[in-house]
Chains A and B, each alone.
Chain A
Amino acid sequence: MECARLPAKGLDEESAGWLRRLGADGGERQAAERELHARLIRIALAEVRRRSAGTPVAGQELDDVAHQAAGDAMLAILRKLGDFRGESRFITWAYRFVILEVSAKLGRHYWRGTPVALDAGQWERLPDRFGIDPARHAEAAGVLAEVRRVVDEELTAHQRRVFVAIVVDGTPLDALAAEMGLRRNAIYKVIFDARRKIRRALVANGYLEEPGLERR
């Protein structure tokens, strides 16, 4: 595990200031909370707009997602203030909450107005998913047929469902995680294992060459 290292020196001045003000009483604390919340809203609005091309959410609803993300991030920050150990600047630590909230909320909103089809199996689009030049689809047909064979015959049912949804049908990973009630990491691990299994089969059958990066 790659643990974050604590700073050799104390906190930077800005971070110490945030902690002091957020831990103060009365008006000073309220002013700090208002300032932080305003910053979180600004960051959340910028982030939903940056991601707008990849979500069906638009317009006022997108702004609403940003405000909800900022509100939820604010609550989490205040609840976990004691966990901040100064491994980064305070504001970076705080902004992480709002970025992750935006990410999670947009994942959950993906299916809004979109029929849930986790097994559409649009295999004909696989060459495009891998960025294969349309003029060379026929050339790539052999190796892609082998990918499909491994998916059909060697992956577990769970691996196959996740691989088809993510890689073949292009479902966003966070949207699939939300739909299946799983964490992002759980879905990623399934895809990671499926990639390894498929590559090993392609190497064994002469489509790809070793060495790969795999060492375990």
Chain B
Amino acid sequence: MSDLERLDRFLRTDPRDVGCDEATSILHVYVDLVAAGEDAAGRYPGVAAHLLACGPCSEDFAGLLLAVTSG
């Protein structure tokens, strides 16, 4: 990926992005789908778009997924 593409990728916004509040409110549902190998992003595209763009929510997602899959 070129430098300009990296900058462009950061600046691009996805109108499906639901924001932190909504993504957080159903994070447990999303994580269970991912853990079960189901199409979480297909069922909740706005959450998937948000997790791609929001570092803190992405960290919460990673932590919760690890928690439920590590037993």
Contact = CB atoms under 8 A, between A and B. Distances in A.
Interface of A: 1-5, 43, 46-47, 50-51, 87-89, 91-93, 95-96, 98-100, 102-103, 107, 130-133, 136, 139-140, 143, 147, 172-174, 183-185, 188-189, 192, 195-196, 198-199, 202, 207-208, 212-216
B54 A195 contact: no
Contacts of B22: 1-2
Interface string B52-67: 0111110110011011
B15 A214 contact: yes
A107 to B, nearest CB: 8
Contacts of A189: 19
A212 B14 CA distance: 9
Contacts of A1: 18, 22
B13 to A, nearest CB: 5
Contact of B12 (A89, A140, A183, A213): A213
A86 to B, nearest CB: 10
Contact of A99 (B10, B29, B64): B64
Nearest to B46: A2
A202 B14 CA distance: 17
| Residue of A143, A184, A216 with most partner-chain B CB within 10 A | A184
Return the 5 tightest CB-CB contacts between A and B, nearest first. A199-B11, A185-B20, A88-B28, A4-B29, A88-B32
Given A100-B60, A183-B21, A208 B28 contact: no
Interface in B1-44: 3-4, 6-8, 10-15, 17-22, 24-29, 31-32, 35, 44
A84 to B, nearest CB: 10
Interface of B: 3-4, 6-8, 10-15, 17-22, 24-29, 31-32, 35, 44-47, 53-57, 59-60, 63-64, 66-68, 70
Contacts of A102: 63
Give chain B's interface secondary structure class: helix
Contact of A92 (B14, B28, B57): B28
A195 to B, nearest CB: 5
B66 A130 contact: no
Contact of B3 (A132, A147, A183, A208): A132
Nearest to A89: B32
A46 B56 contact: no
30 contacts: A2-B44, A47-B63, A47-B66, A87-B29, A89-B68, A92-B32, A92-B35, A95-B67, A96-B28, A96-B64, A99-B63, A99-B64, A99-B67, A103-B56, A131-B6, A132-B6, A136-B3, A140-B7, A143-B4, A173-B54, A174-B56, A189-B19, A192-B13, A192-B19, A195-B11, A196-B13, A199-B12, A213-B13, A214-B15, A215-B15
